[in-house]
């Protein structure tokens, strides 16, 4: 039996491989204070957003089908890719103090990790991976011309593993974003980053797969898979097409030893774009949902259901009064496309929805009793969810999610009830990490280590805090 490959984030993760402290986790502190920026529109795509990343340096030449040449694409993207240095300070205690019954002594240790980033606007906004900047006390950005800047965190999203940084600079080279829905399997791409601290390294490969769902990735369900060489330090770097347009942010690799062995994975640019725009506008990412449960079809499931369709998303449950229900989608309908984008797996459906905002309208093509139908759906916002491990239902406090905490709307937990906890309480932190949305709660719980204690912090109407610890 073949050995099962372990999943690593590229920085193995970014800074963490240098830190040598722990395995990769998308757990993170809550979002930093939001900042506002005007991002000019330079192109049109199928999103309703009026803001798109600035393009001030990227060549737009179509590649000649004969005589493949990556020089133009490389020349256009290299100046927009940066080196990210994450410095943090941790307190180290002397274990022998406890052993000998002495008063504990400690010292502060400086630890550094590195990764990559991509400039998306001339005034200094930079995209990278959340895991690259995790736990940072200081962030230093080095441009391709060797100039260095201190960076501040504008926003970060645990689920998509995207962070937005800002440096105090102007007239910077920046990258434009392609529509990642249009990228094709077999298309040439370049990966640009700083593996092993080797600045501005460019590698080439092809798109090996789209909408790749990796078991163990936990949050991102729709990677672009390539065979471009990617190694620790490439995290947060650019994946571009032959026109030098960003199609993804390099994030993960499959490996048994933490280094490249054949496949790397990038977050599609459409998801990146939507995430950054939400961070700028709301300070947090808004999640659009269809309001259905179901399963991706394959030959085995089709045989069990006695149907001929082996691709698509089979709806097994429709949530009342949410998007799908309001559009009259029903149990046993099979979704085969959204806005003409083919949906052949569950990951493809989730990946497309992550590029959309609540209240966006989408056209869904589906099968009902073998008949092809089409309907327009206005996507709902995911603002309430049940957390089984806590026995509570929680809801976002506001649309903008700048206020710390989530509201408890119902309690199915006898311990909390007997302790006097009511729906007037607000859940403010988990394991010491502040939360601002239901997505923060779900992700922190999902990503905790096996047998790790779960400490929740609640605030009562008078502003007093109480803690509960779960095993």
DSSP 117-172: EEE-STTSEEEEEGGGSTT-SEEEEE-TTS-EEEEEEEEEETTTTEEEEEES--S-
Residues 456, 471: contact at Cβ < 8 Å? no
Give the mean pLDDT of 252-265. 74
pTM summary value: 0.72
Res 17 pLDDT > 80 = no
% of the chain surpassing 90 pLDDT: 45
Min mean pLDDT across 43-57, 76-90, 125-139, 270-284 is at 43-57
pLDDT in tens, 126-158: 999 999 998 889 999 999 999 999 999 998 888
Residues of the chain with CATH 2.40.10.120: 7-282
Give the mean pLDDT of 373-384. 88
Radius of gyration of the chain (CA): 23
- Greatest alpha-carbon pair distance for the chain in Å reads 77
Give the mean pLDDT of 115-132. 96
Two structure tokens written together for 43 = 């192109």
Q: Which CATH superfamily is domain 384-470 in?
A: PDZ domain (2.30.42.10)
Among 24, 450, 444, which Cα is nearest to 255's?
A: 24
pLDDT at 60: 40
Give the mean pLDDT of 346-359. 89
Res 49 pLDDT > 80 = no
Residues 206, 226: contact at Cβ < 8 Å? yes
Min mean pLDDT across 3-17, 234-248, 333-347 is at 3-17
Correct CATH for 7-282 of 2.130.10.10, 3.30.530.20, 3.30.70.20, 2.40.10.120: 2.40.10.120
- Tokens 């995911």 correspond to what residue? 382
Residues of the chain with CATH 2.30.42.10: 288-381, 384-470
Two structure tokens written together for 289 = 């949902």
pLDDT at 51: 53
Res 59 pLDDT > 60 = no
Query: What is the set of active-site residues?
Result: 131, 161, 235
% of the chain surpassing 70 pLDDT: 79
Res 232 pLDDT > 70 = yes
Among 274, 213, 269, 221, which Cα is nearest to 51's?
A: 274
pLDDT at 344: 85
pLDDT in tens, 415-457: 888 888 999 999 999 988 888 888 788 778 777 776 778 889 9
pLDDT at 436: 86
CA distance 106 to 128: 33
Instruction: Output 315 or 415, whichever has higher pLDDT.
Output: 315
Among 179, 195, 161, 378, which Cα is nearest to 275's?
A: 161
pLDDT at 261: 65
pLDDT at 217: 44
Res 57 pLDDT > 80 = no
Q: Tell me the pLDDT band of 276, cut-offs 50, 70 and 90.
A: very high
Res 34 pLDDT > 70 = no
pLDDT at 5: 34
pLDDT at 48: 39
| Domain covering 288-381, topology | Pdz3 Domain (2.30.42)
Give the mean pLDDT of 113-122. 95
CA distance 1 to 374: 45
pLDDT at 347: 83
Calculate the average pLDDT of the chain: 80
């Amino acid at each position: 039996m073949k050995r099962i490959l372990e999943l690593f984030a590229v920085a193995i993760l970014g800074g963490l491989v240098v830190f040598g402290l722990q395995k990769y986790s998308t757990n993170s502190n809550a979002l930093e204070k939001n900042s506002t920026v005007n991002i000019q529109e330079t192109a049109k795509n199928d999103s309703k957003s009026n803001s798109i990343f600035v393009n001030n340096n990227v060549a737009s030449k179509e590649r000649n089908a004969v005589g493949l040449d990556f020089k133009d694409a490389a020349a256009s993207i290299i100046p927009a890719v940066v080196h990210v240095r994450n410095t943090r300070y941790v307190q180290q205690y002397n274990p022998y103090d406890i052993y000998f019954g002495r008063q504990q002594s400690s010292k502060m240790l400086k630890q550094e990790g590195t990764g990559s980033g991509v400039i998306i606007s001339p005034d200094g906004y930079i995209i990278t991976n959340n895991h690259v900047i995790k736990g940072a006390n200081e962030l230093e950005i080095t441009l391709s011309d060797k100039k260095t800047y201190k960076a501040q965190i504008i926003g970060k999203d645990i689920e998509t593993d995207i962070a937005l940084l800002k440096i105090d600079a102007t007239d910077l080279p920046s990258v434009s974003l392609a529509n990642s829905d249009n990228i094709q399997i077999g298309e040439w791409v370049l990966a640009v980053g700083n593996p092993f601290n080797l600045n501005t390294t460019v590698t080439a490969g092809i798109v090996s797969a789209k909408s790749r769902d990796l078991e163990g990735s936990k949050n991102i369900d729709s990677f672009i898979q390539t065979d471009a060489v990617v190694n620790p330090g490439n995290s947060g770097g650019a994946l571009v097409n032959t026109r030098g347009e960003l199609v993804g942010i390099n994030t993960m690799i499959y490996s048994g030893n933490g280094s490249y062995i054949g496949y790397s994975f990038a977050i599609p640019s459409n998801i990146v774009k939507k995430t950054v725009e939400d961070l700028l506008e709301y300070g947090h990412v808004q999640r659009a949902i269809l309001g259905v449960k179901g399963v991706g079809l394959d030959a085995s499931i089709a045989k069990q259901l006695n149907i001929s369709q082996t691709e698509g998303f089979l709806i097994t449950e429709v949530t009342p009064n949410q998007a799908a229900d309001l559009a009259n989608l029903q149990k046993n309908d099979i979704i085969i496309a959204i806005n003409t984008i083919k949906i052949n797996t569950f990951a493809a459906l989730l990946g497309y929805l992550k590029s959309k905002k609540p209240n966006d309208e989408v056209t869904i093509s589906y099968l009902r009793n073998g008949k092809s139908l089409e309907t327009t759906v206005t996507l709902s916002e995911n603002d309430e969810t049940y957390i089984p491990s806590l026995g509570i239902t929680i809801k976002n406090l506001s649309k903008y999610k700048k206020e710390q905490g989530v509201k408890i709307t119902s309690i199915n937990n006898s311990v909390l009830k007997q302790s006097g906890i009511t729906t007037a309480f607000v859940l403010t932190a988990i394991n010491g990490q502040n939360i601002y949305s239901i997505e923060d709660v779900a992700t922190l719980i999902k990503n905790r280590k096996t047998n790790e204690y779960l400490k929740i912090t609640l605030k009562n109407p008078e502003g007093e805090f109480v803690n509960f610890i779960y095993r």
